[in-house]
Structures are given as structure tokens and as C-alpha cells.
Amino acid sequence: MRATYVLKRLLQIVPTFIAVLILVFLLVRLLPGDPASAILGDRATPEIIARTKRELGLDQPLPVQFGIFVGQVLRGDLGESTSLKVPVLRLIAERLPVTLFLAVYASIIGVLLAVPLAILAAVRRNTWVDSLIRGVFQVALSLPVFYIALQLLTLLGAKLAWFPIGGYGDTFGDHLYHLFLPALTLGFNLAAILVRTLRNSILEVLTAEYVEFARSKGLRSRVVMVRHVLRNALISTVTLLGLNIGALIGGAVITESVFAIPGVGRLMIDAIFGRDYPVIQGLTLVFAVLVSLVFLLTDLVHARLDPRVEHV
């Protein structure tokens, strides 16, 4: 991979980051009502509201507020939580590893489900096996994440008691055990998206000339599938996986609430109900930066798998 391509992709993030800063800044300021009044509640006196505005810098003109906000972000200062009275960055730093662990765990489960089932559906195309696999995941796509989470929680957690119904644990093994149901919830939904794309990619690659040539050399079907078919079919799947990271993080917000997981998703829900605008603003900024970085990583992996992308 050429260094110029990597530098080009890095520079393309700069305008995205600037746009994110503007949108996050305006998120709170342009909402209906007064942020200070919303934080303090209906019983706050005008004097207390005015003092809170001064403390938060909300009495300054918008350009001045934006300049202060950008300076704080560049220094790593995302403000202080109005409800917990601790720095927002510390809250996010404590909760973010949990959500990232859940996202990676769910992605692994999704890929482990999608790849073998997509291969099976492609090899057995237009049979009852293919129809069953596609039908199950088509139904999964139509179901909300919280519904799948509640069903797994009720069946495998409450009734059968195979897995805990919440928490995170202390050790790595505890994390795997406690987060299995929420990771399965997100992973199953992700697999539903990947199976369809990967199946179609495999069917397309199976008809390519180089695959027919590999077969004519006497290579076994398994070797042809792994070395020639799957490697090329996975290129589009890698891109799709990266594009769905945003949806995965959005699903984590709901899943963490259902399973009482102490991640940033649950922190976001608590901040919304508690009207904790600095936390909402900080989390939105972190989510946007994370998604942008994942998109960058996806592009680099795609370029590594398919060098033609660098010349587009």
C-alpha cells in the first residue's frame, strides 16, 4: 500500500472532523428551549439560571462559544457532567472499553455466523437449505434489536439460566460470559446483513474464469473455495462490515440498557434522561470520531485486499 494513499485518506478526515465539531456544537445550542433551564429544572430561579449560563459559557455569542468549545476539545477537555460532577472525558474513558469490547465481540460472532452460512447457502443455492438460511436472516433483519435482546434475555437468561442477565464481570473470562447474550444479539443482526452480501459475492466469484482454471488444475473444492473464492468474495464483506459499525454502536446503546451493561451506550441513555448536555455532547463527538476512524481503517484494509482501489 502506497504512503500517498494513506496520507490522502488521513487528510480527507480533516473536513469530516470539522463538520462533526460544528454539528456537535450546534446539537445543544439549537435545541428548543434553554439548555440551562433544562439542566436545572422548572423550579430554578432566574438568578440561578443566569449563573449557570455564565459557568457553562452560554451567555457568550455563538462564535465565541464555538471558539471556546474547539479549544477545549483540542486540549482533551470535554467539560464536566452536570449530574455526576466529574469530567466527561473520565466518564467516557471508564465506559468506552466496555462498549468497544462488546462491539468487537459482536463483530466476531457475526462473522463466525455469516461466513460458513453464506458459503453453505451459495454452494446449495436454490435449494431448501439456501431458502432456509436466507429466510431466517431476512426475518432477523425485520426485527428490532431490542426485541431480539429481550427474547434472548428471557429464554437463555431468565428461564434456562445459561447466561447472566446483566453485568460485565471482572476478568476476561467473566467479560466473555456476561457479554455473550448482548454480543449474540448484535452479532446475529450483523450476520443477517453480511450473509446476503457474502452469498451473492461468492456466487459471482464462482463463475469467474480464474476459478474455473483452478478447478481444471485438479484442485480440491475446499482449496478453490478458500484460496480463490472466499478471499475475493470477502472484499465486499469487509467494506460492508466497516459501514455497519455505526449501526453496531447504535445497537449497543439499546443493548447495554436492556442487559444493564456499564458502557457508553447506557451512559448516553442516562445522560439523555438526566439532561446532562455535556455528556451527550462529548459522547456524540466520540461516537463520530470512532466511526470516522473505522471507515478509514476499512478503506485501508479494502485497499490492501484490492490494490486497484488505490488508483480510483
Q: What is the pLDDT of residues 6-35, one digit of tens each?
A: 777 778 778 888 888 888 888 777 766 666
Residues 274, 127: one domain? yes
Among 86, 104, 124, identify where a domain stops.
86
Q: Residue 87 forms beta bridges with which residues?
A: 80
Q: Classify residue 312: in a domain, yes or no.
A: no
Q: Is residue 310 part of a domain?
A: no
Do 7 and 154 lie in one domain? The reply is no
Q: What is the pLDDT of residue 218?
A: 64
Q: Cell numbers for 174, please give them.
A: 467473566
CATH number reported for the structural domain that contains residue 211 in this entry: 1.10.3720.10
Which of 35, 68, 86 is the endpoint of a domain?
86
- Summarised one tens digit per residue, pLDDT across range 225-280 is 666 676 777 777 777 777 777 777 777 778 888 888 888 888 888 888 877 878 88
* Beta-sheet strands, E only, within the chain: none
Residue 280 belongs to some domain of the structure? yes
153 and 197 both lie in a single domain? yes
- Is 190 part of a structural domain of the chain? yes
At 219, is the pLDDT very low, low, confident or very high (cuts 50, 70, 90)?
A: low
- What pLDDT shows up at residue 288? 83
16 located within any domain: yes
Mean per-residue pLDDT, 70-80: 83
Q: Please tell me the total count of domains within the chain.
A: 2
Looking at the structure, do residues 138 and 287 belong to the same domain, yes or no?
Answer: yes
In a domain, 166, yes or no: yes
- For the chain, the straight-line distance linking the first and the last C-alpha, in angstroms and rounded, comes to 14
Whether 186 and 72 map to the same domain: the answer is no
pLDDT of 134 above 70: yes
- What H or E segment, with its residue span, contains residue 13? helix 3-29
Residues 6+ apart with CB under 8 A from 279: 81, 82, 83, 88, 91, 267, 268, 271
| Residues 150 and 294 occupy one common structural domain | yes
Q: Say if residue 112 is in the same domain as residue 166.
A: yes
- Mean pLDDT of all residues in the chain? 79
Summarize the confidence of residues 137-152 as an average pLDDT: 82
The cell for 117 is 452460512
How large a percentage of the chain has pLDDT more than 90? 0
Residue 188 lies in a domain: yes
Q: Which domain holds residue 47?
A: 3-86
SS3 assignment for 217-247: CCCCHHHHHHHHHHHHHHHHHHHHHHHCHHH
Considering only residues 311 and 241, tell me which one the structure prediction assigns the higher pLDDT: 241
Is residue 184 predicted with pLDDT exceeding 80? yes
The residue that leads in pLDDT, 246 or 193, is 193
Average pLDDT for 151-160: 81
Assess whether 268 and 222 both reside in one domain. Answer: yes
Banded model confidence at residue 2, pLDDT cuts 50, 70, 90 = low
Using the predicted structure, report yes or no on whether residue 306 has a pLDDT greater than 80. Answer: no
Residue 131 inside a domain? The answer is: yes
Q: Is the pLDDT of residue 213 over 70?
A: no
State the pLDDT at residue 264. Answer: 86
Q: Do residue 148 and residue 235 come from a single domain?
A: yes
* Residue 212 and residue 289 in one domain: yes
